[in-house]
Amino acid sequence: MWSLMAVTLVLAAAEALVPGRLDKITDLGWSIHEDTVHWPNNKAFVYTNKIAEEKPDGKWYASNDYCSGEHLGTHLDAPYHFNKFGWKVGDIPLEKLIGKGICVNLQESSGAGTTLQPGHIDNWERRNGKIPKGSIVLINFGWGARHYEHESYMGLVNGTLHFPGVSASAAQMLVDRHITGIGVDTASIDPGTSTDFKAHRILLQANIYNMENLKIPLWMPEKGFNLVVMPINLRDGTGAPLRIFAVPNSENVGLPTPEALKDVVVSDCTPWYAHTWLVLLSLLVTVMYAVHGFSIY
Ligand SMILES: [Zn+2]
């Protein structure tokens, strides 16, 4: 009995340390609507001409116009954003928009002052080997949990923003690794307090696109997935709203995620008698232990 409990405790501890495993195609973006987070100096997303009505003949018709800044919600920064000679959104080759994904997880240490440092990348490489050329790199600050609380997410204090970001030295290290793109779960690649936007400049100068306001699960694995990056094809865009999702690949290892396990137990598809059987089984085991004095003999 005690050894069984010990094994269970060890397994539980191991599960806490091992990143999750992607069990399905996973959406890494937030949907866009009229309350989507945006920079104060850019336009918010707004519908300008909403039609949703039954026509006199009883047939339904719906259509919207919309107006929006490029750099709001989950979006991509084209290199041209900070690099006069860089790609605009419509110039980015398709082969740069799909590739091997990796994730550097910093959420356990993240406060608003956290910055990705070269040491964090060293740690990732000690566990997984050198970042493959052409990777699309996610930095998971765990900041997405605040996404719907705009004040907390932007960290606005006395007119200054406060949220985590990428240091200039880490940006340069990723350029040296020849990555294709980088994405964060905050409003900017640079930390909120930045005024010189060094990470933006270093990465975009190297034609590496940025992705901001991503929705990265807390349990995101360090590798084992490909990323599909689909900005709206704005020909002259300095940025564009973005659809992005992760697809498990052959390196997909690790334990099922807490969310996947939750799906198994409380999924809408689970019939009522499955839960009843679990309760009855638990009662039976309890009674057996009581009758046998907590001995299996
Ligand atoms: Zn942007």
- The pLDDT tens digits for 248-297 are 988 887 666 665 555 444 434 444 444 555 566 667 766 766 766 655 44
**CA 181 / ligand 1 centre spacing (Å):** 13
Question: Would you state the pLDDT for residue 224?
Answer: 94
**CA 23 / ligand 1 centre spacing (Å):** 30
Assigned domain for 284 exists: no
Assigned domain for 4 exists: no
**CA 188 / ligand 1 centre spacing (Å):** 7
Residue 261 and residue 297: Cα distance in Å, rounded?
33
Which amino acid, residue 202? I
- The angle subtended at Cα 25 by Cα 23 and Cα 31, nearest 5°, is 130
Burial of 98 (0-12, 13-18, 19+ CB in 10 A): middle
Is the model's pLDDT at 157 over the cut of 70? yes
CATH of the domain at 218: 3.50.30.50
CB 249 within 8 A of CB 225: yes
Q: Which domain holds residue 164?
A: 21-255
Name the token pair of 199. 């990470």
Assigned domain for 280 exists: no
- The pLDDT tens digits for 27-86 are 999 999 998 988 878 899 999 999 999 999 999 999 999 999 999 999 999 999 999 999
- The pLDDT tens digits for 125-156 are 999 999 999 999 999 999 998 999 988 999 98
Domain tally, the chain: 1
**CA 174 / ligand 1 centre spacing (Å):** 19
- The pLDDT tens digits for 213-248 are 999 998 899 999 999 999 999 999 999 999 999 999
The alpha carbon of 172 is separated from its chain's Cα centroid by a whole number of angstroms, namely: 22
Cβ atoms within 10 Å, residue 228: 16
Kindly report whether the global pTM for this prediction surpasses the value 0.95: no
Handedness of CA 242, 247, 251, 252 (dihedral sign): positive
**CA 13 / ligand 1 centre spacing (Å):** 39
CB 69 within 8 A of CB 190: no
Question: Would you state the pLDDT for residue 262?
Answer: 56
**CA 119 / ligand 1 centre spacing (Å):** 26
